[in-house]
Structure 1
């Protein structure tokens, strides 16, 4: 059994730890069915604890749904990386009554922005450190929706996958929010693999390459949109 860590405890990526519901679990079930050599099991781990494993060189598994930039590995030298499992967008969301158009991190100067505790947001974190943006942390993106409705924050950065899921499953929220024409970021979600697990990377990439034309994989991805 190979551990696959995720620190994204949010819909649709992880819906229920106890029952194993969510997009990441479905992805790993697909990988388990398509290969004979490995069995992958999803484990939730907060980002700070995951960073301790990574920084101490004690990472004993994979990390799903992440990007090289988030782990200071833009050149992909510190870790092995798979092909993308999906594309995602970090949207800038505000209240329909107080719409905000994002034109870069500096356009948020003086604002209170809803973010998820422990997450890094390119350009925004730097201005927060300079005291130019007020960071209002929440345990999840779902809480940021509630803060926007209550007028406690000016805007929030929320992944498109989460936004679509919440709007689909909570119709009472539809029409309450404004999405900026310019997103904060757009990126691929990949799987991080320790350098010594080359064969695992090769196996997963073969499956993902074939999955691009597999209607079962496409149905799996689109089920949460």
Structure 2
């Protein structure tokens, strides 16, 4: 009986230990979006390196699972999901998520053919062009508003790579893309032959801040606060700069 009680106590303590370890591990979803995130990238990408460093300084761990973007967002929004958020994301108005402090930024622009550049001064000028966008990506408020109201012609695809190919083939006039993402993708073997034909438009749409979107629950807000405390204690720019340079 004594031995049985000892074994039971050991099992209980072990279970408590596992529970504590699990509570100290934040689970998030992400996508393949180099150089910011990707399972095969150095440190899984610049954004994930920042997030992991911020949690580490607070004594916690980060576990990231990678999915196509729409699924990554959906999984993070489900009430019973183990995932408490997703990233990297641009800020947008929502009741489903609360956002961390900025984990970095990236210039959002238009990839175009060098031979046929897009000419515009005001965002409304883009209405005369057909733009490629990625399904469920947030762009800029002004551009997304025009897309929603139907005044901006667009074609939605599932990846930046697809949009790059469509621009190069002349099937669309330009596509919305993060400048760092474009530079990374054009250095990869499948898209290298297109690099000579393409460029970023001379005018940037916006310099967008990147965030973690935490589910808007007590637990999500608790982790958001923990994360922000850790973020304030690390050098975000240095972490990002070193990884972007290494990915180049």
What TM-score does the superposition give when structure 1 sets the normalisation length? 0.77
- The 1:107–1:21 alpha-carbon spacing in structure 2 relative to 1, beyond 3 Å, is same
Extract unaligned runs of 5+ from structure 1: none
- The 1:183–1:61 alpha-carbon spacing in structure 2 relative to 1, beyond 3 Å, is same
Distance in 2, matches of 1:123 and 1:214, equals: 28
SS in 2 for 1:123: helix
Q: Does structure 2 conserve the Cα–Cα contact (< 8 Å) formed by 1:93 and 1:155?
A: yes
Q: Residue 63 of structure 2 is aligned with which of 16, 21, 41?
A: 41
- The 1:213–1:41 alpha-carbon spacing in structure 2 relative to 1, beyond 3 Å, is closer
Which residue does 1:105 correspond to in 2? 123
The answer to whether residue 91 in structure 2 is matched with residue 68 in structure 1 is yes
Which residue does 1:92 correspond to in 2? 110
Distance in 2, matches of 1:209 and 1:199, equals: 16
- For the aligned residue pairs, the C-alpha RMSD in angstroms reads 3.2
Which residue does 1:9 correspond to in 2? 32
Extract unaligned runs of 5+ from structure 2: 1-24
Which residue does 2:168 correspond to in 1? 149
Bigger-Rg structure (1/2): 2
Distance in 1, matches of 2:159 and 2:79, equals: 28
For these two proteins, the number of residue pairs brought into alignment is: 218
Q: Which structure shows the bigger proportion of residues in helix conformation? A: 2
Q: Does structure 1 conserve the Cα–Cα contact (< 8 Å) formed by 2:133 and 2:154?
A: yes
- The 1:145–1:202 alpha-carbon spacing in structure 2 relative to 1, beyond 3 Å, is same
Q: Give the drift of 1:31.
A: 3.9
Distance in 2, matches of 1:216 and 1:20, equals: 11
- The 1:55–1:102 alpha-carbon spacing in structure 2 relative to 1, beyond 3 Å, is farther
Q: Give the drift of 1:2.
A: 1.9
Deviates more, 1:152-161 or 1:192-201: 192-201
